[in-house]
Amino acid sequence: MSPTAWGWLILAFPLAGTLVIPLGWRVWPGRVAGYIGSLAILASFVCSVGAFITLHDRAPEARSVTSTLYDYTHTVGVNVGMSILIDPLSVFMALVVSGVSLLIHVYSVAYMDSDRGYTRFFAYMNFFVFSMLLLVLAANIVLLIVGWAFVGAASYLLISFWYRRATASAAGLKAFVMNVIGDVGLVIAAFILFKHTHSLSYAGIFGGAKETFSTNDGAIVAACLLLTVGAFAKSAQLPLHTWLPDAMEGPTPVSALIHAATMVTAGVYLIARFHVLYELAPTAADITAGLAAATLFFAATCALVVTDLKRIIAYSTMSQIGYMMLGVSTGGYDGGLFHLMTHAFFKALLFMAAGSVIAAMAGIQDINRMGGFRRAMPFTFITFTVGALALAGVPPLSGWFSKDSILGFDVHRGGYYLVLAIVGFAGALLTAFYSFRMVFRVFYGDPVPEAGSLERGELAHGEPVNPRTGEHEDTEVGFPGPEHHIAEREFSMKLAMGALALLAIGGGIVQIPGVTDWFDKFLEPVFANSKFVNDQPSTSAEWIGLVVGAGIALAGITTAFVMYLQRPGVTIALRDRFPRLHDFLEHRWYFDELYDALFVRPATTFGNFGRYVIESAFVQGTLVGGATGIVRAGAAIARGVQSGYLRAYALLLLAGVAALGLYFLLQAT
Amino acid sequence: MNVNWYLVLSAFIFAIGAAGVMTRRNPLVILLCLELMLNAGNLALIAFSRMWGNGDGQVFALVVMVVAACEVVVGLGVIVAMYRRRLNIDVDELSELRG
Amino acid sequence: MWFEQVMFFVGAIGALAGAAGVVLLRNPFYSVLALVGHLFSLALLFLLLRAQFLAAAQLIVYAGAVMVLYVFVVAYVGGTDQPLGPEVAGLRKLGALFAVAVGAELCVAIIGSGLSKLDTHGAKVDAGFGTPAQIGQLLLNRFLIPFEIASYLLLIAAVGALVLARRRRGHPDAGAIEQIGHAPPLEGVR
């Protein structure tokens, strides 16, 4: 079969899952909905592999195939079709998305059991995977925007999955609103590009870009900056990042899938796909890289002090995506995309293991209440540590290879980019520190009561409460189910986590500098038109970067070891020494408060004004009330004629006769 | 004798009867004023009959008298029923059809 | 001629005085008497217009029967002195105003319009004009059907009066003669 046939099948299976699962929601017993969902994604993954193989069979120059299902519009210069593009970049993204989604679906089959919304969950998850695949396989910017919007909608549905929780619905709204800001930027960028290149398909835009735009042309810079706005909103980078920590209100598999591996990487994909344009607008690319580096550092500092386990991992995601953005906006496309893949592996693994720990804690996510789970949950401990090691960038795990290839490339480019690379290395130190902060706080130390009871074989069964606000909930529809599932007891969870751990450990093998270059070779046709294609650092320079990175990682881990295990209490002393700094970091650099004052308050004030003054007083009171009042008054006057008095009626009769007589008299004269 | 004078007289009597209907509150007196108006009409009819030399007007006036008699009978029956029901004999009291 | 004019004025003044009396007198009994006087004057005017039969009918039927009926009802119902003015604001003034307006219009119509073309002295009539014989001829020949219908009308009116004024059983009657042998009030009979 041709690659594009595989491509349509990649899309078809999750779509079928989205339609089939809800249609039978009353019928599926037990975990069947989960099996159906996982099978759909498995089929999609198999088709991705098929597309990969058939694409690989072609010559490198011919590895860009499009296929159109039907013409969507074909009018005044706007020719848009339902078309997909199969080239190395999209196949790579499809493999990562479908593969990691498959493992997360398998994990969720057991994790979400006993939740009343089980079927709804898998329907939403399949819908999400379909949207993400549509986004990456689109061959024109219109279909990209469609997939982009669907992904935002699926994210909203899944974040506020436990919809009866006020904090969850508020978080879903926040994510959606910020995503819409990005959508607007993306759409306006599409307009600008269409206006200049008169085409909406990638082939048309990229083909005509070099002729239409001169370097740093105002239009192309504007378009690229707007694309950046879109990418940053979806990938939670500064300044559109505040939704990501709140999005941890969703179930843990949702955080693993959407907010670690797939949706937040859509922005990276966008910039990688549009690299031709970014290279024509270096100003925009530099701004993007600068913001990415700032995000990287900002998120790492926040992860140092936050105490909610999932939120630490969320900030880590924000930081790592900063690395990826740094890579693809400065020309290190291979590094950025390689890091995308390895990050998907170890971050999803971290979330899964965190979910297992939270289940053992009966829903509590505060690391101040955790400790000593090493003996009670060995499997979770090992997988979590593997994930943390990969995140920190310890050799020879995959994270080491990918992260340091980005930083090595930027060192090689020098100048402004060297500064960004140094920021990146500083961030790497912090990353190593906080990832092992998590490991030591959760798994080492004295076992907390939940760990103790688990060692004896009893899974803790606490009160169902909202972990953020502590308010009591029931376990019916719209809230988490009553039972919690840990990895040690569920086979499917172990299967998924084990697979991801192996991938996290061995995933770096595809791109070892000087030894294997399968990854670069595969993506080469896509980035062949980049101006950095011949400007790669040498192997030895890359190895120096790798060694430096390894050293930084080990330094960070050692610092964490000292501060948490050897001298416990040092961190508390530090917190008391620098209270204002601690508060500043804990409040995430007061971004939420800033946005609240800048945007939310004025909007709310205007909304209240609109409701009470414009709507109630003016429209309801004056316009509507006035109109009805006039009619009522007129009717009251007219009603006065019906006085009920006989003689008044007689008077009216007589008056009528007199009037008629007068009329006839006047007529006769 | 100029017939016009009779007609003018009839008009005056009619107007006086109309003013009486409007002004009085006792239903009996209102009925009496109605009689006045009817009589005015009779006078006009007979004057015209004399003018044309035709007997038709007089027959019409006779029929008007019959009608007036019937109307008086029914009206007085209503007043008697009102009185029997202990209602106030006042036309302004019967104002339930207002509004 | 002069006799006719004098009689006309006598009749006219009598009629107007009677009409004014009906409207202005407070006691309804006096109003009835004023109307009787008015009817007599009208009968005189009918005679002047050569309508002998109608003048007699007016006196016998109207003044004789209908007014007697009125007298009976006024005696039964009573109706004391009442204020002349209405309680509804402005009705009195407006009523008078419109009545005057109608009167004025009619006069203008009569005097001003084409009636002046007619032969105002009346056509030549023979001696049998206005006699009962002539009226009888007309009633039975030309106006037979209206005659019959008028008699039906009288029947209906009589029946209607009976229905309206009958005493219902069990209903409290104002000023009724004490019932001999009290009948117990029946439920639901009004």
**Number of domains chain C is built from:** 2
Which three-class secondary structure state does DSSP give residue C44? helix
Give the neighbours of chain C: at least 3 Cβ pairs within 8 Å. A, B
Q: Which residues of B touch C135 (CB under 8 A)?
A: 55, 58-59, 62
Which pLDDT score, from 0 to 100, does residue C115 have?
Answer: 58
List of domains in chain B: 3-91 (1.10.287.3510)
| Radius of gyration of chain C measured on its C-alpha atoms | 23
Instruction: Kindly state whether residues C69 and C142 are assigned to the same domain.
Output: no
Say which range, A501-510, B86-95, C132-141, has the weakest mean pLDDT. B86-95
Kindly report the backbone phi and psi dihedral angles of residue A138, in degrees, each rounded to the nearest multiple of 5, phi listed first.
Answer: -65, 145
Which pLDDT score, from 0 to 100, does residue A509 have?
Answer: 82
Instruction: Kindly state whether residues C6 and C66 are assigned to the same domain.
Output: yes
Cβ B53 vs Cβ C129: under 8 Å: yes
Instruction: Kindly state whether residues A540 and A600 are assigned to the same domain.
Output: no
Instruction: Kindly state whether residues A580 and A604 are assigned to the same domain.
Output: no
CB contact under 8 A, B22 and A639: no
Summarize the confidence of residues C42-54 as an average pLDDT: 92
Asked, for residue C162, whether it belongs to a domain, the answer is yes
**Number of domains chain A is built from:** 2
Cβ A302 vs Cβ A589: under 8 Å: yes
Residue A157's pLDDT band, with cuts at 50, 70 and 90, is: very high
Cβ C46 vs Cβ C14: under 8 Å: no
10 Å CB burial of residue C152 (0-12, 13-18, 19+) is exposed
CB contact under 8 A, B97 and A647: no
pLDDT at A376 over 60: yes
Q: Which residues of A touch B98 (CB under 8 A)?
A: 642-645
Instruction: Kindly state whether residues A499 and A635 are assigned to the same domain.
Output: no
A152, two tokens: 């935002």
Residue predicted with more confidence, A94 or A584: A94
- C104 vs A657: CA distance, rounded Å: 12
pLDDT at C61 over 50: yes
- A618 vs A371: CA distance, rounded Å: 60
Instruction: Kindly state whether residues A544 and A617 are assigned to the same domain.
Output: no
Asked, for residue C87, whether it belongs to a domain, the answer is no
Instruction: Kindly state whether residues C72 and C139 are assigned to the same domain.
Output: no
A513, two tokens: 């500098």
Q: Which of C81, C97, C119 is the last residue of a domain?
A: C81
B87, two tokens: 């209602």
- For residue A85, what is the enclosing H or E element? strand A78-86
Instruction: Kindly state whether residues A478 and A422 are assigned to the same domain.
Output: yes
By the CB < 8 Å criterion, does A665 face chain C? yes
CB-nearest to C94 from A651, A661, A665 is A651
Give the neighbours of chain A: at least 3 Cβ pairs within 8 Å. B, C
Summarize the confidence of residues C46-70 as an average pLDDT: 92
Which pLDDT score, from 0 to 100, does residue B31 have?
Answer: 92
| Radius of gyration of chain A measured on its C-alpha atoms | 31
Which pLDDT score, from 0 to 100, does residue A371 have?
Answer: 85
- B99 vs A623: CA distance, rounded Å: 28
Q: What is the CATH number of the domain that holds C72?
A: 1.20.120.1200
C134 Cβ contact list (under 8 Å, min separation 6): B55, C128
Which pLDDT score, from 0 to 100, does residue B99 have?
Answer: 62
Residue of B38, B44, B39 lying closest to B3 (CA atoms): B44
CB-nearest to C42 from B26, B39, B81 is B39
- C142 vs C146: CA distance, rounded Å: 9
Which pLDDT score, from 0 to 100, does residue C44 have?
Answer: 95
CB contact under 8 A, B21 and A642: no
pLDDT at C179 over 50: no
Instruction: Kindly state whether residues A628 and A561 are assigned to the same domain.
Output: no
- B75 vs A603: CA distance, rounded Å: 75
Residue type at B32?
L
Residue predicted with more confidence, C185 or C140: C140
What is the residue-wise DSSP string for A33-46?
A: HHHHHHHHHHHHHH
Instruction: Kindly state whether residues A488 and A621 are assigned to the same domain.
Output: no
- C42 vs C56: CA distance, rounded Å: 11
**High-pLDDT (> 90) share of chain A, %:** 39
Cβ A246 vs Cβ A337: under 8 Å: no
CB-nearest to C98 from A643, A651, A664 is A651
Q: Which residues of A touch C98 (CB under 8 A)?
A: 651, 654-655, 658
By the CB < 8 Å criterion, does C108 face chain A? yes
**Per-residue pLDDT tens for C86-142?**
566 667 778 888 888 888 888 888 777 655 655 556 667 777 788 888 899 888 999
Summarize the confidence of residues A343-352 as an average pLDDT: 93
Q: What is the dihedral of CA A281, A283, A286, A292, to 10 degrees?
A: -90
Say which range, A179-193, A522-536, C105-119, C174-188, has the weakest mean pLDDT. C174-188
Angle ∠(C84,C94,A660) on CA atoms, nearest 5: 135
A76, two tokens: 């005044």
B59, two tokens: 């027959």
Instruction: Kindly state whether residues A514 and A652 are assigned to the same domain.
Output: no
CA dist A122 → A35, A36, A313, B89, C168 (Å): 9, 9, 24, 85, 83
Q: How many CB atoms sit inside 10 A of residue C78's CB?
A: 14
Among chain C residues, the shortest Cα distance to A661 is held by C105
- For residue A75, what is the enclosing H or E element? strand A65-75
Summarize the confidence of residues A265-285 as an average pLDDT: 90
Which pLDDT score, from 0 to 100, does residue A228 have?
Answer: 94
For residue A638, what are the β-bridge partners?
none
For an interface test with C, the pick among B73, B85, B87, B88 (most C C-beta atoms closer than 10 Å) comes out as B73
Residues 10-49 of B with CB under 8 A from C: 11-26, 28-29, 31-33, 35-36, 39, 42-43, 46-47, 49
Instruction: Kindly state whether residues C74 and C7 are assigned to the same domain.
Output: yes
pLDDT at A324 over 70: yes
Instruction: Kindly state whether residues A194 and A238 are assigned to the same domain.
Output: yes
Structural domain including C163 reads: 131-167
CA dist B67 → B80, C58, C66, C157 (Å): 20, 13, 12, 9
Among chain B residues, the shortest Cα distance to C119 is held by B51
pTM, two decimals, is 0.71
By the CB < 8 Å criterion, does C86 face chain B? yes
ipTM over 0.95: no
**High-pLDDT (> 90) share of chain C, %:** 39
A193, two tokens: 């590009």
Instruction: Kindly state whether residues A250 and A306 are assigned to the same domain.
Output: yes
CB contact under 8 A, C35 and B6: no
pLDDT at A556 over 80: yes
Structural domain including A182 reads: 3-586
Residue C190's pLDDT band, with cuts at 50, 70 and 90, is: very low
Instruction: Kindly state whether residues A418 and A484 are assigned to the same domain.
Output: yes
B34, two tokens: 């109605």
Cβ A269 vs Cβ A136: under 8 Å: yes
Asked, for residue C175, whether it belongs to a domain, the answer is no
- A and B: number of Cβ contacts within 8 A: 31
Instruction: Kindly state whether residues A625 and A501 are assigned to the same domain.
Output: no
Mean pLDDT over each residue of chain A, to the nearest integer: 88
For residue A201, what are the β-bridge partners?
A140
Cis omega (within 30 of 0) for bond into A88: no
Q: Which of A586, A612, A628 is the last residue of a domain?
A: A586
Residue of C16, C35, A643 lying closest to B30 (CA atoms): C35
